[in-house]
Structure 1
Amino acid sequence: MSKSKSPACPCGGSSLATCCGPYIEGAAVPQTAEQLMRSRYTAYTQKNEAYLQATWHPSTRPNEPVVSPNEKLQWLGLEVKSALRLRQRKAENEDYVEFVARFRVQGKGQRLHEVSRFLREPSPEGLRWFYVDGTFPE
């Protein structure tokens, strides 16, 4: 009896089952801002609205859905440029991750280059990272 191999993780990890899958399924909590960012990218590829909303900081979480099941968007890949952990003691619960996500809309390739800001705050499950917002470098 052969074990079926888990597909590669959309974020670039070797296996969805050992990379972002446990976070998206609720079996584990991302321990770093980069892990959360990668799992959110994977959730976008899966059009997983519930996970995206749950990992968005309440202060900036949109009231409207962020993904459309009918949108003809194909995610092509993720490149993490840097995880820019701040060194100041007072900022231990704030982190930044710079990334480029490539995607195709109606056959046209595009890219999203963002520096995302994350906060780590208490939640019912303990300390958790949340996506807050992002800036777009030139």
Structure 2
Amino acid sequence: MARRTSARTARRPAVPSACPCGGARYAECCGRFHRGEATPATPEELMRSRYAAFALGETAYLLRTWHPDTRPAALDLDGGPRWTGLEILGTSGGSAFHDEGTVTFRAHYLGADGSPGVQQERSRFTRLDRVWMYVDGKVS
């Protein structure tokens, strides 16, 4: 019997060995966050794991790590760009002694037509019940 797959399932990228965020192996890097085995200790870790989630189509993780005050009701990544690289440009706050932090990054992608692009953003994060959450970002 043939297994039926939705277009969504068929388009989802395979789990990589290298982490899309540029870290080590996916399983030990952002994969542990996506699987719920650990929570990011800093806004930078959360930002990297969210970038990897965008690259891999992990919408449940993205919604789970989005602050409830700014989280959309749903998130559809179909037809979006193919994320190809991440650069962290700077961070502020976000230590064990902070409740807020920012991460400025540059995310590289290929558009639907295959043309390269870059999104630069300064993202804000806050702690909610001792867990870092994405609040919002300013794209420049």
Q: TM-score range by the shorter chain?
A: 0.7 to 0.9
Q: Which residue of 2 aligns with 1:15?
A: 25
Match for 1:38: what amino acid?
A: R
1:86/1:45 CA distance change after superposition, 3 Å: closer
Structure-1 residue corresponding to 2:131: 128
User: How far off its partner does 1:73 sit?
Assistant: 2.5
Partners in 2 of 1:133 and 1:95 — Cα distance? 11
Cα deviation for residue 102 of structure 1 reads: 0.3
Match of 1:75 among 83, 106, 109: 83
Q: Provide runs of 4+ in structure 1 moved above 3 Å.
A: none
Unaligned 5+ segments in structure 1 are 1-5
Q: Cα distance, 1:101 vs. partner? A: 0.2
Instruction: From 84, 96, 101, give the equivalent of 2:102.
Output: 96
Which blocks of at least 5 consecutive residues in structure 2 are unaligned? Answer: 1-15
Question: What percentage of residue pairs aligned between the two structures are identical?
Answer: 41
Residue 44 of structure 1 aligns with which residue? Answer: 54
Q: Report the CA distance between 1:8 and its aligned residue.
A: 0.9
Residue 44 of structure 1 aligns to a residue in which SS? helix
CA distance in 2, matches of 1:38, 1:81: 12
Q: SS in structure 2 opposite 1:114?
A: strand
Partner deviation per Cα, 1:92-127 (whole Å, 9 max, x = no partner): 2000000000001121111110000000110xxxx1
Cα distance in structure 2, aligned partners of 1:29 and 1:86: 14
2:35 maps to which of 21, 25, 31: 25
TM (norm. structure 2) is 0.82
- Structure 1 residue 117 and structure 2 residue 120: aligned? no
Matched, 1:34 2:44: yes
Q: Distance in 2 between matches of 1:55 and 1:44?
A: 12
Q: Secondary structure at the match of 1:45?
A: helix
* Cα contact 2:43–2:94 (8 A) shared by 1: no
SS at match of 2:135: strand
RMSD (CA atoms): 1.7
